[in-house]
Structures are given as C-alpha cells and as structure tokens.
Amino acid sequence: MTISIQTRHADNIAILVMSGRLTIGDSVAALHDAVEERFAAGDKNIVLDMRDVSYVDSTGLGTLVTSLTCARNHGGTLRLANVQPRIQDLLDVSKLYMVFQIVELASMKIGD
C-alpha cells in the first residue's frame, strides 16, 4: 500500500492527513509534492498527521527531513502529529526526535 494524503485546514495550519506506508518510490514523491504544493499555495505552517502511517523506511525518513528543510527554506514550520510507536522508535534511534517537533493534534485544538 502506498501513501494516501488528504489536505485540510484549521486556522493558519495545513494538515496533511497521511495513511499507508511512507517508503521508497511513489510514496515519498507524493509527500514531497504535497509539501511543495502547500507552500506554493501560500501555506506556511504544515502538520503531517501520521496517525494512519503504518511504516516508514529510510527513504521515507529522509523525505520527512527534506520536507522539514523545505518548510524552513520557505520561512514556515513543519510538525509531525500522532506518530505511531513504531515510527517514534525509528525517530528515537535516529535521534531525529531532536529535529522534529512532535505534537498531538488534539493538543493543538484543531478541528475537522
């Protein structure tokens, strides 16, 4: 299963709701394109809702870092939300938990 990405907005935040697997191939390209599209549309704050992301490989992890760099280059922010324990473990092992701001969407008071 590749990644599916739906966009919604709350206040000044673009929320990319992701589901599936973020792996080499079409999935990472889809995420990269979705992030670029949001900045091209004028969004400055992006949250990647990873509640339904079941797996991230090393290429997917690299794409998350690239997306964060893209956000910073556009003067924006990119946060991860609702990260599953298995993916959190990957962020911990790779020390990327120190790079990303990880939040729960409920704590951000964002509605549908």
pTM: 0.91
> Which residue blocks in the chain are alpha helix, DSSP H?
26-40, 58-73, 85-93
If one counts every other C-beta atom within 10 angstroms of the C-beta of residue 56, the result is 24
If one counts every other C-beta atom within 10 angstroms of the C-beta of residue 69, the result is 12
Q: Which two tokens stand for residue 95?
A: 């020390």
Decide if 53 contacts 21 (C-beta within 8 A).
Answer: yes
Predicted confidence (pLDDT) per residue in 72-105, tens digit:
999 999 999 999 999 999 999 999 999 999 998 7
* Span 4-104 CATH architecture: 2-Layer Sandwich (3.30)
Predicted confidence (pLDDT) per residue in 5-55, tens digit:
999 999 899 999 999 999 999 999 999 999 999 999 999 999 999 999 999
